[in-house]
Homo-oligomer: A and B are copies of this chain.
Amino acid sequence: MTQSSGRPLRVAMIGYGFMGAAHSVGWRQAPRVFDLPEAVELAVVVGRNEQAVARAAAKWGWAEHATDWREVIARDDIDLVDIVTPGDSHAEIAIAALDAGKHVLCEKPLANSVEEAEAMAAAAERAAERGVRAMVGFTYRRVPAVSLLQDLIARGTIGEVRQVRAAYRQDWLVDPSVPLGWRLQKEHAGSGALGDIGAHIVDLTQFVTGERVTRVSGTVETIIRQRPVLGERSGFTGSATGELGEVTVDDAAIFTGRLDGGALVSFEATRFATGRKNALTIEVSGTDGALAFDLERLNELRYYDRTAPAELQGFTTILVTEPEHPYVSAWWPPGHMLGYEHGFSHQVVDFVTAIAHGTELDPTFADGLAVQRVLAAVEESAAKDSAWVAVDAPVAVESAIPANV
């Protein structure tokens, strides 16, 4: 139940927002539901506001709290750093932690820029040589239905992939009175719907097909260009007067991608799909069948078998709650639903197992970088009148490390 050192794997979590809550559930639940090869300890949660982070520690079950992530990373008793801060701090923290020999789980998106992501991937590669692991938190890969989808494609169940249709649609920006929070400002969020939810559908497409998006053509759009300023968070001063500020990120991104196997993918990421709350949908069409998933019905996978007798063909709604399905046997009997946060437990299970066994684990920082490159190419295409843009081939990572890291 312990590392070779004889003690549990001690985790420090940097950040304590909504994602901190979700990651905390993962760390707490995984060892109580699955049989982990290492014991796990929720050692310390780190944030700048001491009062708030102390509350988070008490609430979520972390033994300690701290305000200086550098000090925490320097501690000998910390084995693993889990980063759930906003994207603009991921690179600095992750690289420092990896260089300090800590395993790193970094929430998506890997970074706010390709350059940062490249530096992080390089750091992960250096760390790997010393047996230190890095993983990016594309948690939806570990929804059982998605994991099954990937596995079925890998086994050839639907034959060769011919087309993919992927969308992530939400509607929280339809209301024009939604204020100009940090997520709507480029300097903080990097990008809008594209980077936040578009990242998920790019990663899932690459994950389930086992292919990379090599070229893209796309459009990004800011539908409501001005929103009410929020005094303290925005840096503006006129909130009390009803002043409006500029939205500097996209509300929607529509793009087409080419996989290295040749198939076309239609992507749509939007925060303006009225009535759609969290509608990540992906459908993969192959020569022998198709598979379709909808995050709003995350316990279901739809499978079409083109090789079945003609009169019996149709989409089969598989309730992915059987013991034969990925991750499920540790949970409940057939027909008992899993929810959003179960993916975070599965992520912990797989990460801890990889650490204990010294095995490879997806999604790597290189996978996160690959997503980042696709998103950057979409933005470049959008700026070039939607011309097709090649996604950069991964350059040698050494040369990609910024000098100042």
- With a cutoff of 8 Å between Cβ atoms, the chain B residues found around residue A286 in the complex are 274
Task: Classify the secondary structure of A's interface with B.
Answer: mixed
User: For the complex, is A233 an interface residue (Cβ under 8 Å from B)?
Assistant: no
Q: Are B278 and A264 in contact (CB under 8 A)?
A: no
Given A32-B61, A316-B315, A317-B314, does the pair A337, B298 have CB atoms closer than 8 Å? yes
User: For the complex, is A226 an interface residue (Cβ under 8 Å from B)?
Assistant: no
Given A32-B59, A254-B256, does the pair A290, B316 have CB atoms closer than 8 Å? no
User: For the complex, is A336 an interface residue (Cβ under 8 Å from B)?
Assistant: yes
Q: Are A338 and B339 in contact (CB under 8 A)?
A: yes
Query: Whose C-beta in chain B lies nearest to the C-beta of A59?
Result: B32
Option from B274, B287, B340 in Cβ contact (under 8 Å) with A285: B274
Can you list 30 A-B pairs with a CB-CB distance of less than 8 A? A18-B332, A21-B33, A24-B32, A25-B29, A32-B59, A158-B274, A162-B272, A163-B252, A165-B268, A165-B273, A171-B285, A174-B285, A217-B385, A219-B256, A219-B264, A221-B264, A272-B285, A274-B286, A276-B285, A296-B299, A296-B319, A296-B335, A299-B337, A305-B312, A311-B325, A336-B339, A337-B337, A337-B338, A339-B342, A385-B387
Task: Kindly list 8 other residue pairs between chains A and B, CB separation below 8 angstroms, not including A18-B332, A275-B306, A314-B317.
Answer: A24-B32, A25-B29, A28-B32, A165-B273, A274-B287, A311-B322, A332-B340, A338-B340
| 4 A-B pairs closest in CB distance | A278-B335, A277-B335, A275-B304, A339-B339
